[in-house]
Every structure is written in C-alpha cells, then in structure tokens.
A and B are shown apart, each in its own frame.
Chain A
Amino acid sequence: MEPVFRLTLGQLTGRWRIVIMAVLAAMPVMITLMVLGADAPSVRDFETAILGTMLAGSIAPLVVLAIAGAAFGNEVEDRTLANLTLSPVPRWQIALPKLLATIAIAGPFMAASAFLTAHVAYLGDARASLAVAAGAVAGVAMYAALFVWLGLRSTQAVGIGLVYIVLWEGFFTGFVAGARLFSIRYYAMGVAHAIDPRRFASADLLGPAAAAAATLVVLGGFFYLTTRRLRTMDVP
C-alpha cells in the first residue's frame, strides 16, 4: 500500500496547489480576525456563517474535491490506472492508500484552519478549538471518501461535485430541514457538537451517536463503493 500512497502524494501535491490550499485555509482565520475587530457577530451567526457555511460548506469541500477528485480521476484520464490494478493485491489495498493520501494532504490544512479560526473566535478555548478541528477532519474524511469514489466513477466528477457542493450543501441544506439528514456538512458539525456541546448548539443537528454513526456510514459506504468499482470496472 505504501507505493500507492507515496505515488498519490507525488501526483496530488505540487507547489502551486500547496500555495492555493494554504491561502484558502488562511481565509477563515483572517476573516475572523477582521470581523472580531468590528462589531462582533453573535456566536450563532459566526458559527453559521464562518464555520458552517464558509469553511465546512465551501472551502473544505472545494479543496477536497480538487484533490480527491484527482486521486483516481487523473489516473483514469491519463490511463495510468492499470499500473495499479495490475498488481496482485486486493482492491481495497489500492483504494485505501488513495483515500488516506487525500486526507493526509487536505486534512492538515483544514484542521489548522478550523483550529486557528476557533482559537481566535472563542478566545483560546482549547476544547472548542479541538472540537471544531475534529469536525473539520471528519468533514474532510467524508468529503474525501465521496469524491474519491466520484472521481473513479465518472469523468464528470468535478461538475457533479460542484453541483453537490453549491446546490445541495450550499443551498438546499440551508433551507430544507430534511435535507440536513443527508448532508456531510451537518454531519461534520454534529461531530464538533458531540465533542463540545456548546458549539453549533443552535443548529438542528444529529446527536453525538448519530453523528458518529453517520460519519462511519459515509466513510465506509463510499470506501466500499470505490473498492467494488475497482473490481468490476473496465480499466482504461
């Protein structure tokens, strides 16, 4: 599994990509710093706007889409996937390092962004910052599982992913309460809430057990689908 992991790290990192990710990760922190200076918004507004909408709803999924979508997407597009599938290992040992590499690249940036944003906003409250960071990592992992599968499954992965992020996560789940049951963003916020119940207290979220279960279902479900696809697809 290690060769696939290292190969994927090499494929998906690159000077410009790291720079763009760093800039995006810095945005919520900078905005928080700026916004706190002026008339500070309420905790609820802050959580909804900066953490919930901007970080969890836009920046994190977009960053993960770019990386996770490319994990298998680039291999399929370049027709190099056969290099990996022609090896005598079970398919999950190809899918897992791809997923882990994606999380390893996007995770630290988003976790740091979430941690620092929360640290600034909640005035150094360690539990709050860790809770938000944990939520960010859970969100990154779930988005990664989804988009890694999507990148393998469809050549239009990015278009579909963008429609999901902008229309579903960005629009529907904000207005339709029922849609939140099927929203990675809300699951991630649920994880943060589970660790520190003061966070996202106003949002209508799943309870701690449900949030954990949802996270596992999303991760496991899409990972299983990825493995299955590797077994049954015609490799280009």
Chain B
Amino acid sequence: MTAGDAVIRVNGVSRWFGSVVAVSDVSFDVRPGITGLLGPNGAGKTTLLRMMTGLASTSMGTVTVLGEPVRDNPPLYRRIGVMSEHETVYGFMKGRAYVRAMAKLRGVKDLERAVDRAIAFVDLEDVQHRPMDTYSRGMRQRMRLAATLVHDPEVLVLDEPLNGADPRQRVHFKSLLERLAADGRTIVLSSHILEEVEQVADTVLLIVNGKLAASGGFRAIRAALNERPYHVRVLCDAPRELASAVVRLPSVDAVNVDPDGAMVVLSRNVLDLQVELPRLAQRARVGLRRVEPLDDSLESVFGYLVES
C-alpha cells in the first residue's frame, strides 16, 4: 500500500435510528496523517466514528479499514486503536493493570515493555500503581490513550480526546499526535476545539446535520466557499475617505465603516486587494495602521458551513 492510498474508506454510509437520520450518505477517504472530524453537537460525528470502528453497524453503505470491512472482523482490531468519548474506566483497577489487561487482550507480545512504553508516552509513570478512580479527569484520559496505543496500532481513531484536558495537557497531547503521525500512522480525531485541530490536522472533514459539508485542507475549503467574500479589517487615519476609494475596486463587494472608525472590506479576491489597498491609501494620503483578515480561520469556515 503506497503512502497515498486510502487507509479508511467510507462509502455511501448512512445510519438512521427509527425516523431520525444521524448520518446521511457520507463518502470519504482517510489517508495517513492527521484528519480532523468536526461538526456541531448532534451532527453525527460520534455515530460516524463508531461506524468507522465497527462498534456500530451502518444502515447503508460500507466502511473498510486497511482494505478490509471493519464490522464483525475482530482480527482487524490488532491494527486499530480506538478511544471513545465516554470517560468511564474500570475505577477499581490500577492504571498499569488496566493498560496491561488491554495489551493482553490485543495480543501484545513482550507485554511489560509495551506497557512501560505506553505509560511513558503519556507521562503517567508516577501514578500507574494507583486505582484509576483516584485519577483526575485528564489523567484518566491519558491512561486511556496509553491503553489505546499499547498495541502499536497503525490506525488511531480518537473521539473527543481532549475532553477535560487542561491547556498544558492539550499542548502535550498535540505533540504526542504529531509524533505518532510522523511515524506514518493514520489518525482520525474528532474535536470541538477548532484551534487545536487547525494546528495539527492536515485534512479536515466537516459534518453538518449528518452530511459531509466539506473535506480537505481548511484553507482550500475556505477558498472553495466562493459565494462568501473575505472580510478584511483595515484601521487607518481617515476611514471614510479610504472607503470611498476602496469601494470602487471591482474585487470589492462592500465596505462597512464602524462608528469607531474600523473599516471592514468584503472582497472575493484578496490578492487583488492586497495589491490595490496600499496604492489607494498612498494616493489618498491616508496612513494605514493595520490590515487583518477576519475569517482566515477554521472557526469562521466552520461557522459559515454550519450556518448555511
């Protein structure tokens, strides 16, 4: 299998519960690297992830992982690691015992070394001999991650892994993910924390109302949303003067001037704006203080897609 081949292939997948359609005709491929699965609450992300890992069946369509159907195919779980969104663990078990039991269940050879490595990876060596109901939420999440990684799976599917993690842990977690991806693994991660996903994910899948709203790199998605003009905020000495000049540009849709003097330019061609704006400012003898894009972020892409 070459690096470009799809590791996870979701084909025409739908899932309904009675008369409620949770996932509707979704198709996409997941390749090695980090893929972020995003969407508002109730969009169907968890249902989709459960179908991708064989925990739930599809009402229609197929899911294959590493070339094999994932449902009712236990041997495939040797190569997949899954962390669900539920935080419950076997409270009475000590952390190390839990990771060890999971390792044994997944057929890991050289047990103690693998467990040591997994626990070191999540930085919980100090507490591994304590029962897990004495752990904080973040520690439980990390120990669960250790159990998910202990059998060194090629494919990792993580549902809201950052739930309950404090900022420091989130930074640590991001670097863990990057290390894992650098080894050639395929990671699918669902999250609400857009900034983090923006920073680690190569590809993003946006699910809205059970349907796949967009997929790809988020900047590419943004560019594809061409019925949405970019918003650029300009702070200058004489906003209204500059505004009257800017509005004449063919690449500009509209210009708004706030009561406190900030100018927001709506344009479909920022490249053109980038070139013309300083020229216009110079000609009008208006000093430009600040030019910043307002919606060059995953959050705004998300917002646009969710709204529409």
Contact = CB atoms under 8 A, between A and B. Distances in A.
A, B co-complexed: yes
A91 B105 CA distance: 12
A215 to B, nearest CB: 29
A88 B76 contact: yes
A95 to B, nearest CB: 13
Given A4-B105, A234-B50, A88 B88 contact: no
Contacts of A80: 86, 88-90
Contacts of A83: 90, 102, 105, 147
Contacts of B56: 234-235
Nearest to A231: B72
Contact of B74 (A4, A78, A82, A91): A91
A10 B105 contact: no
Contacts of A6: 101
Contacts of B105: 3-4, 83-84, 87, 89
Contact of A90 (B53, B74, B102): B74
A3 B82 contact: no
A78 B88 contact: yes
B55 A82 contact: yes
Contacts of A79: 84, 86, 88
A2 B105 CA distance: 9
B74 A11 contact: no
B8 to A, nearest CB: 16
B106 A87 contact: yes
Contact of B101 (A3, A85, A91, A231): A3
B106 A88 contact: yes
A112 B107 CA distance: 37
Interface string B75-112: 11110101010101110110000000110111100000
- Interface magnitude class on chain B: 20 to 34
A82 B104 contact: no
A80 B104 CA distance: 17
B90 A87 contact: no
A149 B182 CA distance: 44
Contact of A87 (B53, B55, B74): B74
Nearest to B102: A83
Nearest to A7: B101
A90 to B, nearest CB: 6
Contacts of B101: 3, 6-7
B57 interface: yes
Nearest to A4: B105
B92 A86 contact: no
B104 A88 contact: no
A213 B194 CA distance: 61
5 contacts: A3-B104, A7-B93, A78-B88, A88-B106, A234-B50
Interface of A: 2-4, 6-7, 10-11, 78-80, 82-91, 231-232, 234-236
Interface of B: 50, 53, 55-57, 72, 74-78, 80, 82, 84, 86, 88-90, 92-93, 101-102, 104-107, 147
Given A88-B76, A89-B105, A234-B55, 20 more contacts: A3-B101, A3-B102, A3-B105, A7-B101, A10-B90, A10-B92, A78-B88, A83-B102, A83-B105, A86-B53, A86-B55, A86-B82, A87-B106, A88-B74, A90-B74, A231-B72, A234-B50, A234-B57, A235-B50, A235-B55
